[in-house]
Structure 1
């Protein structure tokens, strides 16, 4: 099979690999679509960040070089798990879990002490086929298209962040950063009963998508002060909850500044060290919440998509083949801010 392998920064190689034999509890999936994630871009530009290089990951047993890709779906072509049938259309929840640590036993598998992701800590789906643990597999109803299913993974990040927050029906919310997860956070807030939803970014195209995803107000932070705009949209009260999904100091500052007293900031974006005004946070009795990965959210996402309540594929801006993945996928996402979510079709499915 052909696979796109990470060997180092700016070093992705399209290679031919021999399919490995399945171990008990594993499933081989023919990949329909695999999305390129911001995490993949970070690994491509200046990794490794999450990719194990010196030591193999304790669950996958893999280290670099490895195949990227953790947002994917496809068809089961081989199964060594009794509960998974060959021919099933499936979406993959790509979180590794040990199943034995305290967190796993409590059902908090996204906090597993050995947590990792297929396609970052093990071989992923920028390949014609991929082998995954059976516990990652979710059946797809006929009503869910593959291009929708490939975007369920970032939708899962968004829904888990919303569920982790203290959202109550009618709460005014702000979302800073209209990348894929930020846009999907807007959609999840709308689905979960938020009131005013203010979307903040500096790209007009992405703000337009935010309106299509359910934002009631869009704010171009390159033209106006975003925190002031949030207060204006909430009759001077401020947001009850604000989601930081960009991973930038400036957006962290604005996320905190736009909150009402007693409000909550949910940190989803990834970055290194940041500065915060602790006096201000304490004085306004703000809450800081963080969200990582997801748990127990794929079933509702699949059901909502099947019923037409959400459509994750709205954020897809391009579909490419595996041979086009680097120039028209990775490089395009870096240089063209109008690109939001690029799907790769490793087996040449519909790339219109």
Structure 2
């Protein structure tokens, strides 16, 4: 079968590898679509970062690996002991490996497991025609949720988890910094939570245009003082929550300056460089800065339910490519900013 195998920086090969077979407690999934994540880009251009160079404690796997942790597909076979799923079931995959023993796992917050691993980063993943998945990673898709949308459940769950940490609801005001896929996911999640006053700050005209087409109210932070704008539209109260999905110093500074007293700034970005956090903004406002990592099954199910209700729309920001074109039309196009989100179709019949 075809698979995108990662060997190290700038070395990703579309290889013919043996077709895997399910073992006890696992299923074989025919992959419908697999998204390319920002983490995948970091691995390709600067890795290995998260991909282990010695056996991972939970999976036993190391470089080289088949990439891909954002995917959905159809179950072809089930291994011994699997109940509740049968061949033909359409599923989205929650790709977290967790130990089940550490304090976070015992508390139910396995998204911060002390030995956390990811299917497609610490094991062979979904950027292939078939992959083997533990049954506890499966989420059944409703009939009206396509496999394309199913492949977006994982990144949208990242955004939903962050939105939920913002503790906002109908009547509240939120400001999002960054209109990439996670910023878009935050906008969808907040809409699904009933917020009408959501603003998105994004310097890229291409990204602003894409999210505006979905119905968002955008701000160009190079032309508008975002914190002053938020203060004005909230009659001085400030935002009920701010979200940093940009990962740059200016975004954190503007976010903490925009949020209201005792309200949170949620960071759901990856920071490539150390940042100086504007603590004075937090102290004088008694506001807080909180990190957000991944998701749990609750977030996955919430996103799937909203997708079934028609909240999510892929128009204008999602592109599909063949697996043979994954480097030029996927990784390089995303790295150059020519595309926003790319789904890889690993089949031969696209």
Q: CA RMSD in A?
A: 1.7
1:73: which partner in 2?
72
- Please list the CA deviations of residues 109-130 of structure 1 after superposition, one character each: whole Å capped at 9, or x if unmatched: 2122221211112211111111
Partner SS state of residue 83, structure 2: coil
Q: How far apart, CA to CA, are the structure 1 residues paired with 2:301 and 2:291?
A: 23
Task: Determine whether 1:302 maps to 2:304.
Answer: yes
For structure 1, the residue ranges without an aligned partner over 5 or more in a row are none
Residue 143 (1) aligns with residue 144 (2) = yes
Shift of residue 156, structure 1, vs aligned partner: 0.3
The alpha-carbon deviation at position 22 of structure 1 amounts to 2.5
Consecutive aligned runs of 4 or more in structure 1 exceeding 4 Å deviation: none
Q: Distance in 2 between matches of 1:184 and 1:285?
A: 28
Matches within 5 A, 1:294-333: 294-295=295-296, 296-308=298-310, 310-314=311-315, 316-333=317-334
Residue 261 of structure 1 is matched in structure 2 by 261
Cα contact 1:240–1:263 (8 A) shared by 2: yes
The offset of 1:143, in angstroms, is 0.7
Deviation at 1:86, TM superposition (A): 1.3
**CA offsets, 1:23-79, max 9 Å, x none?**
2111111111001111111111111221111x2112221111111111100111121
* Superposition TM-score, scaled by structure 1 size: 0.93
* 1:165 and 1:289 in contact (8 A); partners too: no
Counterpart position of 2:228: 228
Q: Distance in 2 between matches of 1:28 and 1:100?
A: 27
Q: Per-residue CA shift, 1:272-291, capped at 9, x if unaligned?
A: 42102323321211111111
Which residue of structure 1 aligns with residue 187 of structure 2? 186
Report SS of the residue matched to 2:302. Answer: helix
Q: Secondary structure at the match of 1:280?
A: helix
Equivalent positions of 1:1-352 (< 5 A) are 1-53=1-53, 55-80=54-79, 81-215=82-216, 217-271=217-271, 272-295=273-296, 296-308=298-310, 310-314=311-315, 316-337=317-338, 339-348=339-348, 350=350
Number of aligned residue pairs: give it.
346
Deviation (angstroms), 1:315: 5.9
Q: Does the 8 A contact of 1:4 with 1:322 survive in 2?
A: yes
Residue 318 of structure 1 deviates from its aligned partner by 1.4
Q: Return the TM-score normalized by structure 2.
A: 0.94
Q: What runs of 5+ residues in structure 2 fail to find an aligned partner?
A: none
Secondary structure at the aligned position of 1:239 is classed as: coil
- Cα gap change, 1:106 to 1:314, in 2 (>3 Å): farther
